[in-house]
Amino acid sequence: MAVASFVSSFDRFVVSPILVLVATTFGVSVGQAVAIASGYYLAYGLSQPLWGALSDRFGRVRLMQGALVGAGIAGLVSAAAPNLVTLVVVRVVAGAFFGAIVPTSLTYVGDTVSTAHRQRALSDLMAAMAVGTALAAAAAGITGQLAGWRVVFAVPAVVALVSAWGLRTLAEPPRAANGGIGAAFRAALSNRWVLVVGVLVFVEGGLVLGVLTLLAPALQAQGVDAARAGLAAAAYGVAVLLSSQVLKALTRRLPRWALMGIGGSALTLGYATATLRVSVPTIIGIVVMLGVTWAFLHTSLQTWATSIVPEARGTVVACFAASLFIGSSVAAVVAGPAADHDEWHTLFTACAATAAVLTVACVLTYRAYAAREAAPRAADVTTDV
């Protein structure tokens, strides 16, 4: 499962360092080439509710095996795409299939690990994904420059097919009966806290994953080659990996809202610093802060999502992931013109302001949720006494 999550993250992050190479191959602008990223993220996000409901109905492991096979085939076709339109279409298909992997693996953790230890377990899984992210950003830039961008799409496709075979011996966890797909969606979408978390992660997805796609092109616009731009973007995975270990030590000492505050503050600081100048050090600074945000803020939101409606956990987590990647897709499209016109200062200023608002919103809403959940437990204790 760790390998499957690794390759899903790897495939999702290989595109940023090779956008300029793809644009050059097909004679289009970077803004047009961004469609292979935004289309992927949109399909990744929109497919989530379906995958979640299907995993609640048919099982986590079986679903991941089928999705990995589909993703592997789409990845191989991506490597042979003759034009941009074809590449966009097959990347959309790949995104839809790879979209099943991470949320289903997170749901698997929710099924098998108690609430008290769940954020630490999710942090370990995030670390495996972070390795995929770091290697993707670094390897994509170097491989794309030396061997061509087509190889970059072929490698994760092969690993996905091997992973599908490797999952054959993994046991299915027990699942709560939820009355079918329709009942799971009703249980998830009728809960207002599911909707609140969905809005928060939509904004977070835009600020973290959507803008992250454009950071390597930002460096390339300043004359930095694809290999060095990819290595700079790889700092994200390294930051997630290291931050996740720090997070594990802090989960027992700090309340979840404080962890959210740390992650959101890092996000705000990263973009605020980058408004000064676009350079290798400032872009690396953003990337590192995004990694801290992912470890602290995102895993906190993720843990929150796994706890809201246990009987429809797969559907809730899938809706959560849908909001995340739809947000990232929308942000990539909205920010695309800034990449074409080299308006990085305006983009990063808007991101810093939005990140500050998001941080406050996350802290306040989670504290309200925690207080509401604690009230019935306190009442039960009083009654028992």
Residue 87, CA distances (Å) to 11, 68, 92, 216, 307 in order = 14, 19, 9, 20, 38
Residue 382 CB neighbours (<10 A):
8
Residue 320, CA distances (Å) to 87, 297, 331 in order = 27, 14, 17
What secondary structure letter does DSSP report for 179? S
pTM, 2 dp: 0.70
Q: What is the pLDDT of residue 148?
A: 84
Q: What is the pLDDT of residue 385?
A: 46
Q: What is the pLDDT of residue 79?
A: 92
Return the CATH fold of 180-374: Growth Hormone; Chain: A; (1.20.1250)
Residue found under tokens 């843990």: 303
Query: What distance in Å separates the CA atoms of residue 228 and residue 307, rounded to the nearest whole number?
Result: 41
| Superfamily (CATH H level) for 1-171 | MFS general substrate transporter like domains (1.20.1250.20)
Over the chain (385 residues), the average pLDDT of each successive run of 10 is: 85 82 86 85 80 79 92 94 93 92 81 72 72 72 81 92 89 65 72 92 91 79 73 75 82 90 95 84 88 90 85 78 83 80 87 96 95 65 46
Kind plus residue range of the DSSP H or E element containing 67? helix 60-79
Q: Read off the pLDDT of residues 273-328 as tens digits, 9 standing for 90 and up.
A: 888 887 878 888 888 999 899 889 998 998 898 888 877 777 788 788 788 878 88
Query: What distance in Å separates the CA atoms of residue 354 and residue 268, rounded to the nearest whole number?
Result: 8
Q: Is the CB of residue 198 less than 8 Å from the CB of residue 361?
A: no
Q: Read off the pLDDT of residues 154-202 as tens digits, 9 standing for 90 and up.
A: 999 999 999 999 988 887 777 655 556 677 677 777 888 999 999 999 9
Q: Is the CB of residue 83 less than 8 Å from the CB of residue 28?
A: no
Q: What is the pLDDT of residue 382?
A: 45
Indicate where the chain has its CATH 1.20.1250.20 domain(s): 1-171, 180-374
Q: What is the pLDDT of residue 118?
A: 72
Q: What is the pLDDT of residue 108?
A: 82
What secondary structure letter does DSSP report for 207? I
Q: What is the pLDDT of residue 315?
A: 78
Q: What is the pLDDT of residue 137?
A: 67
Q: What is the pLDDT of residue 175?
A: 61
